[in-house]
């Protein structure tokens, strides 16, 4: 068992019970190991595992915690910024008021002096001029400060509604201040305890949050020689989409759904092609698609003679068998499915609605027959 305190290379204050070093071709892949026994008695390291999945899993948990309070924190920060602006202006205005009072007092003293007493008059005139210069200086500072302040518009919670959705992008942006990330991590996470389930082949992580709550995570352990692999769900989506889409379209769909490669990169045509080749997924071919009978929702609706919306609703309700590999992506249907009884019933139901006048579906023609 070891104690970790590193999240995506943000916090490096590791305890002596564990160590972290870089591996990989570019020496940019973290790896954790328990070395207490090795340091004390020369024993072999009892636990060792790659750090990429561990760091990513803890980072995801951290972002989930942050998303819950993102809007509230943004509103509070906005209010603090407004209050800070007001405090600066108020301080300058108080100084200006005191300077004007001092200038007025100096003038009254100068005005009340006997002009014949030139020595006293000269000294009071000098004090009056200095007080006037102080007033002019403060007026200039206030004018400059107000001019440099960006225009402030009233804010509301609705204006921060998408902040939680953008939090992950801001967090992973290289331009984001790393020192701020460190502060956030140290404020939220006390420690992370790691252990291995040798039989289940899993890494067990227990995150101890500052508030006393614990979160347990179980991650599949990477086997020796295994590289960072694309998520199985993403790979299955590529396998399905390749039946009706080329690699350019697949890359666009994966990026639209905010899916990444095993190394966390955005998808390109070349990366999709490499993934297909490595996993022996056939490239899209129009002739092959025609032979196998795969088609998208629009074409399938045209074949049935109904609207795409009607067919999509039927697919969502599982009246019609269809594949939908991505939440924001196309539906795929097979020609044989469109010839099945379920599809025929759907078409008949749609046609009956078209031929029946509006409002007459449930009317009984013999309802009033007994009253004549």
Q: What is the pLDDT of residues 171-215, one digit of tens each?
A: 777 888 888 888 888 888 888 888 888 887 788 899 998 888 889
Model confidence at 247: pLDDT above 50: yes
The pLDDT tens digits of the residues spanning 268-312 come to 999 999 889 888 888 888 888 888 888 888 888 998 889 889 999
Pick the CATH number of 293-355 from 1.20.120, 1.10.1660, 1.20.1440, 3.40.50: 1.10.1660
Task: Pick the closest to residue 316 from 327, 306, 305 (CA basis).
Answer: 327
Listed by start position, the domains of the chain span 2-67+177-220, 71-157, 232-288, 293-355
* 3-state helix/strand/coil string of 208-255: EECCCCEEEEEEECCCCCCCCCCCHHHHHHHHHHCCCCCHHHHHHHHH
pTM above 0.75, yes or no: no
Q: Out of 16-20, 109-113, 241-245, pick the least confident.
A: 16-20
Check pLDDT > 70 for residue 354.
no
Give me the pLDDT at residue 249, please.
92
pLDDT of res. 219? 83
123 — pLDDT class (breaks 50, 70, 90): confident
Higher pLDDT, 50 or 341: 341
More confident residue, 365 or 46: 46
CA geometry: angle 30, 20, 27, nearest 5 deg: 40
**pLDDT tens readout for residues 309-331:** 999 999 888 888 999 999 888 99
pLDDT of residue 50: 77
The residue that leads in pLDDT, 23 or 252, is: 252
The mean predicted confidence, pLDDT, of the chain is 78
Whether the predicted pLDDT of 250 surpasses 90: yes
Q: Angle at the Cα of 3 (from 69 to 31), degrees rounded to 5?
A: 95
Burial class (CB in 10 A: 0-12, 13-18, 19+), 193: middle
Q: What is the mean pLDDT of residues 256-270?
A: 85
- pLDDT number for residue 371: 41
């Amino acid at each position: 068992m070891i104690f970790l305190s590193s999240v995506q290379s943000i916090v490096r204050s590791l305890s002596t019970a564990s160590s972290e070093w870089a591996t990989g071709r570019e020496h940019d892949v973290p790896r954790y190991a328990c070395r207490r026994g090795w340091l004390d008695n020369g024993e072999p390291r009892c636990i060792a595992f790659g750090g990429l999945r561990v760091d990513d899993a803890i980072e995801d948990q951290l972002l989930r915690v942050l998303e819950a309070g993102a809007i509230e924190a943004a509103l509070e920060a906005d209010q603090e910024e407004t209050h800070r602006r007001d405090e600066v202006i108020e301080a300058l205005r108080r100084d200006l008021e005191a300077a004007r009072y001092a200038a007025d007092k100096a003038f009254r003293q100068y005005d009340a002096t006997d002009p014949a007493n030139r020595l006293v008059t000269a000294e009071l005139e000098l004090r009056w001029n200095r007080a006037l210069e102080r007033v002019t200086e403060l007026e200039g500072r206030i004018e400059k400060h107000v001019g440099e302040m960006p225009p402030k518009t009233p804010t509301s919670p609705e204006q921060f509604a998408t902040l939680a959705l953008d939090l992950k992008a801001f967090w992973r942006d290289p331009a984001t201040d790393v020192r701020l990330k460190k502060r956030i991590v140290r404020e939220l996470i006390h420690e992370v305890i790691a252990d291995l389930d040798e039989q289940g082949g899993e890494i067990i992580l227990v995150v101890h949050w500052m508030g006393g709550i614990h979160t347990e995570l179980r991650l599949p352990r990477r086997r020796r020689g295994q590289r960072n692999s694309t998520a199985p769900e993403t790979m299955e989506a590529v396998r399905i989409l390749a039946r009706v889409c080329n690699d350019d379209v697949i890359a666009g769909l994966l990026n639209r759904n905010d899916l990444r490669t095993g190394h966390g990169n955005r998808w390109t045509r070349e990366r999709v092609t490499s993934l297909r080749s490595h996993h022996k997924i056939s490239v899209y071919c129009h002739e092959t698609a025609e032979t196998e009978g795969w088609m998208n929702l629009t074409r399938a609706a045209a074949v049935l003679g109904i609207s795409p919306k009607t067919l999509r609703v039927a697919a969502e309700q599982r009246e019609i068998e269809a594949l939908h590999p991505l939440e924001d992506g196309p539906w795929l249907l097979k020609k044989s499915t469109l010839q099945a009884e379920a599809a025929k019933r759907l078409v008949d139901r749609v046609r009956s609605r078209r031929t029946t006048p509006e409002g007459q579906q449930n009317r009984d023609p013999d309802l009033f027959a007994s009253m004549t």
